[in-house]
Chain A
Amino acid sequence: MKASVIVFPGSNCDRDAAVALQGAMTAMGDKGAAPTMVWHGDSELPDSDLILLPGGFSYGDYLRSGAMAAHSPIMREVVRRAKAGTPVLGICNGFQVLTEAGLLPGVLMRNATLRFICKDVLLRVERDDTPFTSHYKQDQVVRFPIAHKDGCYFADAGTLYLLENENRIAFRYCEADGAVTEAANPNGSSGNIAGIFNETGTVLGMMPHPERLIDPALSGTDGIHMFSSLVEALH
């Protein structure tokens, strides 16, 4: 699998994402493979089976989170490839960039608490029929960390209706038994939404960080399966 990780000025989970991808590639037998780190100022994107927009604070979150990165030179090419069907994964700031770039609907607002939140949360996997989630089971409860100040997903009622109706919710914040409750919602997101797909299920934006729990030494491995799903699907 050929993967590109886009590096914006202020990205800071680019290495973490690359480590997770490379680990999955190695585990799936693709030894020696490594994601390509692509600088935001480049206008050409290498041949890629997957494009990953990492977490961080692109352009310092100035103006709005993700707003300036969405207009950097490389994003024109990312949008073109995404529309042509190349899978794109946006994590945290990457999700914010995807909404600002118009690849995903809605917006990530300031958390309801108005504070940055870093902790593990439980998520209910809503779909297991996508290249991102095939190694999970639908309704499985997984533990991923979140680390954001602007993670409150908001969209108008019509958009939310469409997302629900078209089965485009990827993950929801939930209780240990999978119940979607207000208490389990860390940031005030509409419908406890933690991640969504585009119409074709090839673009996924999510606030939680699967790349942070990929090793028992980091106190969890639930995140590995997203990367192994991708490597298997895009091999």
Chain B
Amino acid sequence: MSGAAEMASEAPALSVDLIAEHGISPDEYERLLKELGREPTLTELGVFSVMWSEHCSYKSSRVWLKKLPTTGPQVIQGPGENAGVVSLGDGQAAVFKMESHNHPSYIEPYQGAATGVGGIMRDVFTMGARPIANMNALRFGSPGHPRPRHLVAGVVSGIGDYGNCMGVPTIGGETNFDPRYNDNILVNAMCVGLVDADRIFKSAAKGVGLPVVYVGSKTGRDGIHGATMASAEFDEASEEKRPTVQVGDPFTEKLLLEACLELMTEDVIIAIQDMGAAGLTSSSVEMADKGGVGIDLDLDKVPMREEGMTAYEMLLSESQERMLMVLKPGSEPVAERIFTKWELDFAVIGKTTDTGHFVARHNGVVEADIPLPALAHAAPIYERPFEKRETLPTIAPEDVKAPPSILSALERLLGSPHLSSRRWIYEQYDHMVMGDTVQRPGGDAGAVRVHGTDKGLAVSCDVTPRYCAADPFEGGKQAVAECWRNLTATGAKPLAITDCLNFGNPERPEIMGEFVGAIEGMAEACTALHFPVVSGNVSLYNETNGVAIPPTPAVGGVGLIADIAEMADMALKADGDVILLLGSETGHLGQSIYMSVMEDRLDGAPPPVDLARERSVGDLIRGFIKAGTVDAVHDVSDGGLLVAIAEMALAGKRGVDLEAAPDELPAHAVWFGEDQARYVVTTTPDKVDTIVDVAAVYDVPVRVLGTVGGDTFTLSGEAPLPLGMLRAAHEDWLPRFMTRR
């Protein structure tokens, strides 16, 4: 390429306002001019604006993300590709990632959530893996606010319609309601795929003169500037951004999945990248940059859904269900035959070059000609100022009022928006398709069998936003630890995590302080638990009119179950079994659900996580599960010990008879305190001594809580609560909330 002479000559002068509208600051524009050596065309400005957006460049987060541990013997691919990869042994690997679709889902909940699910599945099958499990983590505003009902209905139906049509089971997730999400909901979708470890596809387009191939759906005007929208906060005018939301078509994605996997059995693909945020621009820039080559695109060849689109629009469109591939020369007919069979568009739209430039031509005019390093590496990196907040005092159990009755408090907690059953949500997701779901939603983790083997994958999504808001560092630690704990409770060996870091505006030091704190906490927990981060996504600017969401570093973990016959779940199994608590008790009520529901307040420090203790208790639990010493296992988290036992009783459809709490602590602190690193297990009476003895060796406290049996929830000193009443309280809230007029 020779440059300016052939460039689009009638480029309008770029006004200051136009540059600002593209989210490019005056400093950044100076940098752009230096990199390019001239004024950009409008198209080039658009390309820079998406590639330098927070969403694509990670300019505020990059320096901190480096603090997360990303390696381990199980890690095949860490961050930097479309998704992370961990080994499952026997030549197989799990490919997984979690991604946010927060901004679009708030503006248009159905399509926003649907395309979030579509995007994350594309990330996984781009690497050659067949998606085998989906999860999602959703945060909505206060149930009393007018919006959440409409948003919950739209988001859940969008996720369901997309995943169900794809035929990938959605095996779990988590949902929170909190007024701090009133104006910024979070929709984080995770996908796990299965691949042969020697058949993993990556995105580096190594080689010059190779055909660049476009497959999938046609390009339209939807989603233009989606990445830029996701890099700014909301205000009153955000409703006008509806056209930046993409529109999903799961049927086309299903065809694209099958066509890609079919093509991947041939030896023809050099590089492959899905067109997600910033569409054609981002995918071609990333492939060329990673391959150390240039790329030349002829936009006249791009399959179009509508007429008259400009180069600007084509390069920035985020139309869904599209892929870009670089093929071995001469293999185009093989690929075309497969995509034609699946009735998908196929077009050779360019080639790799030795110029080191990103070039896009349209109607005989060079619309963009940019040195690739300027797009990929010269994007600004910010070390933004940050302020960490002061830690809050720990609240003594005595300073939180006791309820008149422990069991009536339990009933109230289980029927609260925080802890009520999510059945209304997960029944809208096909969680059994593919015939390998061995743990359905509603337990500690979802689990699927590795098809054709006895192995299983446990998957869990976790974070406790109220802890993170109170103490980002402890909250970050706790998110990782809880995920590790949930996987452990199934008997799985936790392998690695993906993260989805949702925060407010990083240009505010206090928000940046939350981000830094959470990362540091996560890093410490990941290191201590040998639970590295292999992929992830950062979503900033989740705030409206200057009010930010609580810091929400969602963690999605994957664990390996060596033999599903040895897997544990939380359902009580047999009358007469003994119920035991493993772990320490301090009665920590600060930031607890109890405090929030019963006293309508949330203050004090969140429960600290002792990572050494976390590991020893978890390893012990995993050993007991493998040895068949325990019948049911459940971790203690939101709501505390009594809530955990109640969830086990409801899942097993069996009552319990519990002894009174020990005298050392107030009873409500024992039953509802949220101390970390604890599990409830059940076992037959003859094995209780074994558990006590082995736990003593590992210095893990054990307390006998009571026995399984009957159809009431019985606690010494209180009137028994029929299980049916507890179930009604637990099951009723969400359906009632969703159908209330």
Task: List chain A positions with a Cβ less than 8 A from chain B.
Answer: 9-10, 12-13, 15-16, 19-20, 41, 55-57, 59-62, 115-119, 145, 147, 149, 209, 211-212, 214, 217-219
Contacts and interface: CB of A to CB of B under 8 A. Distances in A.
A220 B558 CA distance: 25
Contacts of A19: 435
17 contacts: A9-B254, A9-B342, A12-B165, A56-B167, A57-B167, A57-B254, A115-B428, A116-B157, A116-B160, A116-B164, A116-B429, A116-B430, A117-B427, A118-B427, A118-B430, A212-B433, A219-B440
Nearest to B161: A116
Contacts, number: 87
B158 to A, nearest CB: 11
B160 A15 contact: no
Most chain B CB within a 10 A radius of its CB, from A20, A55, A60: A60
Interface string B415-440: 00000000000111111111111101
Contacts of A149: 161, 164
Contacts of A15: 434-435
A143 to B, nearest CB: 12
Given A19-B435, A60-B165, A117 B428 contact: yes
Contact of B166 (A12, A62, A118, A214): A12
Q: What are the 7 A-B residue pairs with the smallest beta carbon separation, nearest first?
A: A12-B167, A60-B251, A16-B435, A57-B165, A147-B430, A116-B428, A118-B430
A123 B669 CA distance: 46
Contacts of A57: 164-165, 167, 250-251, 254
A75 B431 CA distance: 29
B387 interface: no
A18 B432 CA distance: 16
Contacts of B342: 9
B264 interface: no
Contacts of A145: 432
Interface in B427-479: 427-438, 440, 449
B433 A217 contact: no
Contacts of B332: none
Contacts of A59: 251
Contacts of B250: 57, 60
Interface string B256-300: 000000000000000000000000000000000000000000000
B161 A62 contact: no
A192 to B, nearest CB: 19
Nearest to A9: B255
Interface in B124-178: 157, 160-161, 164-167
A12 B255 CA distance: 11
A214 B252 CA distance: 30
Contact of B449 (A13, A60, A116, A217): A217
A218 B435 contact: yes
A16 B561 CA distance: 22
B575 interface: no
A55 B564 CA distance: 26
Contacts of B251: 9-10, 57, 59-62
Given A9-B342, A57-B164, A217-B565, 7 more contacts: A9-B255, A10-B251, A10-B254, A15-B434, A60-B251, A116-B429, A118-B427
B291 to A, nearest CB: 33
Contacts of B434: 15-16
Contacts of B565: 217
Interface in B228-270: 249-252, 254-255
Contacts of B39: none
Contacts of B699: none
Contacts of B21: none
B433 A147 contact: yes
Contacts of A41: 341
B431 A218 contact: no
- B-side interface size class: 20 to 34
Most chain A CB within a 10 A radius of its CB, from B157, B249, B427: B427
A217 B439 CA distance: 9
Given A57-B251, A217-B438, A218-B438, A13 B167 contact: yes
Interface of B: 157, 160-161, 164-167, 249-252, 254-255, 341-343, 426-438, 440, 449, 564-565
A59 B552 CA distance: 38
B711 to A, nearest CB: 16
Contact of B432 (A9, A10, A212, A217): A212
Contacts of B564: 217
A115 B431 contact: no
Given A217-B438, A217-B564, A12 B433 contact: yes
A10 B165 contact: yes
A118 B254 contact: no
A9 B254 CA distance: 8
B165 A61 contact: yes
Contacts of A115: 157, 428
B431 A118 contact: yes
Contacts of A212: 432-433, 435
Contacts of A10: 165, 251, 254-255
Nearest to A118: B430
Contacts of B438: 217-219
B435 A60 contact: no
Contacts of B255: 9-10
Contacts of A119: 427
B165 A147 contact: no
B164 A147 contact: yes
A20 B432 CA distance: 14
A61 B430 CA distance: 16
A15 B433 CA distance: 10
B160 to A, nearest CB: 5
B165 A118 contact: no
A164 to B, nearest CB: 30
A19 B564 CA distance: 18
A142 B299 CA distance: 58
A224 to B, nearest CB: 12
A209 B255 CA distance: 23
Nearest to A114: B157
A171 to B, nearest CB: 18
A60 B161 CA distance: 10
A117 B255 CA distance: 24
Contacts of A9: 251, 254-255, 342-343
B568 to A, nearest CB: 13
Contacts of A214: 435
Nearest to B426: A118
A118 B432 contact: yes
A9 B440 CA distance: 27
Given A115-B428, A116-B428, A118-B428, A13 B433 contact: yes
A20 B433 CA distance: 13
Nearest to A62: B251
Contacts of A118: 164, 426-432
Contacts of B426: 118
A81 B166 CA distance: 30
Contacts of A219: 438, 440
Contacts of B436: 218
Contacts of A116: 157, 160-161, 164, 427-430
A117 B424 CA distance: 9
A57 B163 CA distance: 11
A88 B342 CA distance: 26
A15 B252 CA distance: 19
A226 to B, nearest CB: 14
Contacts of A55: 433
A56 B434 CA distance: 11
Most chain A CB within a 10 A radius of its CB, from B160, B167, B341, B343: B167
